[in-house]
Amino acid sequence: MSSKDNQKPRPFRAAPGTAPLKGTVSVPGDKSISHRALIFGAMAVGETRVSGLLEGEDVLRTAAAMRAMGAEVERLGEGEWRVWGVGVGGLSEPEDVLDMGNAGTGARLVMGLVASHDFTAVFTGDASLRRRPMGRVMEPLSRIGARFHGRSGGRLPLAMTGTADPLPIEYELPVASAQVKSAILLAGLNAPGITTVIEPEPTRDHTENLLRHFGATVEIETAKTGAKVIRLTGQPEFRPSSITVPADPSSAAFPLVAGLIVPDSAVTVRKVGLNPLRTGLFTTLQEMGADLSFGDRSEQGGEPVADITARYSALRGITVPPERAPSMIDEYPILFAAAACADGDTIVRGARELRVKESDRLALMARGLQACGVDLEEFEDGLVIHGRGRPPQGLSSAGASIATELDHRIAMSFLVLGLAAKDGIVIDDARVMDTSFPGFVPLMQALGARLEPAA
């Protein structure tokens, strides 16, 4: 495809087929762990090997940022990467703007790293990333000593200057965010003394796990309030290491939900990462009556993994506990698609964070589902979906399509729903799916899904 073609939106259609979805597939590596593998490799002197790296746009941007700041990052083969790191505090000033593309995780984690280096870096991203709030990392990183010049509302593009004398801080997270936690810990890596992050609600702990894996001292304690207190001892001797990235549960969610909503289907996804801070969707689906089974449990790269099989199920609406939000934060769009096929009300509240993801996911899912004939109510912090016990009508009338606004998970959620919806569903642009799930279309087609470019 020429770069000109690549600039044009690529409308895509999903339609119900005549046969069920059947088969066993492997989805790409975990996005969160892939970003971190490259970042941690860059911080260790010597060679880190990564296998199973997600080669999606988001992670490739982090690879480019690490290269721009002095690390050697090289692709050896499919998912096989080698990073030759510069050591804690050893990054150098990038010569050009760091374009982080669509990746909030890449942008915020790399800003954390830069905060404790004595140089200036300029960050930008695509239209989606330039809409997202960076104040949540600018505030704690300023306390460490970094300085920022950004657009109004703390938005990209922004320039930041790190400090030669970073202060170890103690910081209580005002929002449940693994990205903010990780940005502070990465800044604290090059600060003398102990950096402390207090998290009132537990979020994914891949940063803490990898810090330990590379030889840093991280102590984690549960306070009387139930909050987690994470203490990192700065300026550790960081050892290069090897990392095997498990398959991304957030990507596995798409073929699995397809298996649940397309009649008579049975879909297995191999060796899916099952870190307990990531599995909220599977618990929720089981509460809705989903037939999910977990086989061949083992460990990969220090994370539990299992083969997950989803069989077509009659789903019913439930109330999703708000405290489950951090463990399924990226999975609400596909949950809403499942809820649109369920019988009764699915009630999601306490999920305000969805408004500041790659898109405003509450608004976009609400608008798109309503266009497909789903009855729902939108609240500031959630949606209530009134399911009718069968898939909705869909949207494939001439020229009409679902707006995805550069959000990969909105795009994939509607394509999955389109496999069950009576008329199928057309989305306005499929290109962005490559940020987290390259190969989504052929993988789904291999299961028997009808997915094709729309005129």
* Choices 59-67, 175-183, 367-375, 446-454; region in contact with ligand S3P by CB under 6 A: 175-183
Q: How many residues can be counted in the chain? A: 455
* Choices 70-78, 173-181, 287-295, 385-393; region in contact with ligand S3P by CB under 6 A: 173-181
Is 42 a binding residue for ligand S3P by CB under 6 A? The answer is: no
Our answer to whether residue 99 is catalytic in this structure is: no
* Choices 49-57, 71-79, 112-120, 172-180; region in contact with ligand S3P by CB under 6 A: 172-180
Site pattern 343..382 for ligand S3P (x: CB under 6 A): ----------x-----------------------------
179 or 265, CB closer to ligand S3P?
A: 179
Size of the site for ligand S3P (CB under 6 A): 10
Is 182 a binding residue for ligand S3P by CB under 6 A? The answer is: yes
Task: Please check whether residue 110 is in contact with residue 185, taking contact to mean a CB–CB distance below 8 angstroms.
Answer: no
How far is it, in rounded angstroms, from Cα 167 to Cα 165? 6
- The radius of gyration of the chain from alpha carbons, rounded to an integer in Å, stands at 21
How far is it, in rounded angstroms, from Cα 408 to Cα 360? 12
Contacting ligand S3P (CB under 6 A), which of 102, 163, 177, 233? Answer: 177
Q: What phi, psi does 146 have (nearest 5°)?
A: -80, 155
Is 179 a binding residue for ligand S3P by CB under 6 A? The answer is: yes
* Nearest of 285, 357, 369, 363 to residue 324 by alpha carbon: 285
Q: What phi, psi does 243 have (nearest 5°)?
A: -135, 130
Contacting ligand S3P (CB under 6 A), which of 99, 199, 248, 330? Answer: 330
Task: Please check whether residue 51 is in contact with residue 197, taking contact to mean a CB–CB distance below 8 angstroms.
Answer: no
* Choices 16-24, 171-179, 225-233, 289-297; region in contact with ligand S3P by CB under 6 A: 171-179
Choose the catalytic residue: 126, 205, 307, 330: 330
Q: Which two tokens stand for residue 201?
A: 């609600």
> With 0-12 CB in 10 A as exposed, 13-18 as middle and 19+ as buried, what is 47?
middle
Is 329 a binding residue for ligand S3P by CB under 6 A? The answer is: yes
Q: What is the DSSP letter of 350?
A: S
Contacting ligand S3P (CB under 6 A), which of 105, 128, 196, 233? Answer: 105
* Choices 46-54, 178-186, 377-385, 443-451; region in contact with ligand S3P by CB under 6 A: 178-186
Least distance (Å) between residue 327 CB and ligand S3P? 11
Q: Tokens 């409308």 map to which residue?
A: 11
Least distance (Å) between residue 289 CB and ligand S3P? 26
Task: Please check whether residue 381 is in contact with residue 349, taking contact to mean a CB–CB distance below 8 angstroms.
Answer: yes
35 or 431, CB closer to ligand S3P?
A: 35
330 or 429, CB closer to ligand S3P?
A: 330
Phi-psi region of 221 (alpha: psi -120 to 50; beta: other; left: phi over 0): beta
Burial call 68-99: b when 16+ CB within 10 Å, e when fewer = bbbbebeeeeebebebbbbbbbbbeebeeebb
| Residues assigned a catalytic role | 330
Binding interface with ligand S3P (CB under 6 A): 32, 105, 177-179, 182, 204, 329-330, 353
